[in-house]
A and B are shown apart, each in its own frame.
Chain A
Amino acid sequence: MKPFVNLCLSVTLLLLNLSCAESDDSLRVLAAASLTEAFEEIADDFENRTGVKVTLSIAGSSSLAAQMEDGAPADVIALADQETFERVKRSDRLTQSVETIFATNYLTIITPIGNPASITEISDFQGHVIALCQEQVPCGRLTKEIAATLMVEIQASTWEPNVRSVRTKVELGEVDAGLVYVTDVTNRVESVPIKEGEKIKTRYPIAIVDNAKASATEFVDFVLSSDGQEILNRFGFGEPQQ
């Protein structure tokens, strides 16, 4: 019996230990899926300059908003649109009620290499296998806006939970086309610009969470600095003033 009790005690202690290990001194940044590569580079640069380790937590903006509501640990949050940001504001976990816009983005059509279904514009989607973003994520909202502007109805074969899973389905050739941000275009897909698509933009807000570590302000400042902006531009993001 005794060794058994000992075992239980040590398991309990181990669990306690692990639950405490979470609270290290790294800066926790929640970032929208479309920011993945740009924020990885920004985080690396920031680490090199300040010595503060950054932990990126990447997901669809609406998932991040839900995480904020559920009390997920975070110091900085960067999302892909202002509508989702309204939800984060309502969680009452932000230091300021006004967000700062740090980048812009817009949508483009992508197809597998060779464009097997000869898609040249959104009205060609009819009758093909199409992947689009679910309505509640920013790229989905933008997709809806574009459809309304062009006055076309778009049907998808699959509504993906974030913009990166749309790209994956196109890359794998499982769908004939999809709508993603211009910043998501890689050399594994072909991009077909949407006429006047750059006029329908999404704006990326960033904000500091309540009780954030001191380095959170530094991180946001770095994103907004010319060096931070240079990285974002290199990945195809537009300037915030536009």
Chain B
Amino acid sequence: MKTKQRRAPYSLLLIATLGFALLAIPFIGLSQRTPWSSFAQIATEETVLRSISLSMVIATSSAGICVFLGIPLGWVLARAEFRGLRIMRAIVLLPMVLPPVAGGTALLFALGRKGFVGEKLDSWFGVTLPFTTAGAIIAATFVALPFFVLTIESAAAELDSKLEEASLNLGATPIRTFFTVTLPMLRNSILAGIALSWARALGEFGATITFAGDNPGQTRTLPLQLFVALETNPERAMVIGMLMVLISLSVLVTLRGNWLGRQ
């Protein structure tokens, strides 16, 4: 094994191997139990296909919202200075550490039909979010956004601000500087953040079932289908599980790996 520090201490390598094994072995177990001979047949069942396309729609919309909201938010966390920044950063990271079910409950109390925001949405615009695809997108975004923001924040904090200062000194407005100088420099991190938040949104379960319920064709994404299958048809559950592993793995390997410029 070659590492940048030519001779890595063996004890570290050993522990690193143990850590990797803890993360990798469960997937070996899953692939062993996966009924590969009927994989293609189960993966193309109508109910599974419907969940796949729904999951794609939800994960992609969610990643899109993450880009729109997450770039400014990450930038503010990295660059702005104001009282309460610390608490703001903690709140942004909260969905990463909270059980998603707690997040889903919180969403219900805020955006549900009787929630303090949801009530207004219902009475003013006739919009209700629970049990709809829009609700599932919000639930997925709630858990995926912190991953995106974190990627942008750390990249923006490391950015050399000389180029931005030069742009400002040459008379460009701050917003023009942001779009023509800052954003291009953040390009790789943005793409990596998209991959990470897309994959996280794809795997969302707890917040979705709590806030958006289980509504076939509307909110029954792959993870929800997996949950039902686990209790009714374990073979189908293994196929769906493996399917999610393969999709997420390929997204993370090809997209995230490339854009972060690491081998």
Contacts and interface: CB of A to CB of B under 8 A. Distances in A.
Contacts of A63: 231
Nearest to A129: B131
* Interface of chain B: mostly helix, strand, loop or mixed: loop
Given A131-B213, A158-B215, A159-B216, A174 B230 contact: no
A161 B214 contact: yes
A69 to B, nearest CB: 8
A65 interface: yes
Interface string A136-166: 1100000000000000000011111100000
Contact of B232 (A136, A157, A169, A173): A136
Nearest to B130: A174
B231 A160 contact: no
A5 interface: yes
Interface string A159-196: 11100000001001110000000000000000000000
Contact of B213 (A5, A8, A158): A158
B173 interface: no
Contact of B215 (A60, A135, A157): A157
Contacts of B112: 172-174
The 9 lowest CB-CB distance pairs between A and B, nearest first, are A158-B213, A62-B231, A173-B114, A157-B131, A159-B214, A136-B232, A158-B131, A136-B231, A174-B112
Interface of B: 9, 11, 15, 108, 112-114, 128, 130-131, 209, 213-216, 219, 227-228, 230-232, 234
6 contacts: A62-B231, A129-B128, A134-B231, A156-B215, A158-B130, A174-B114
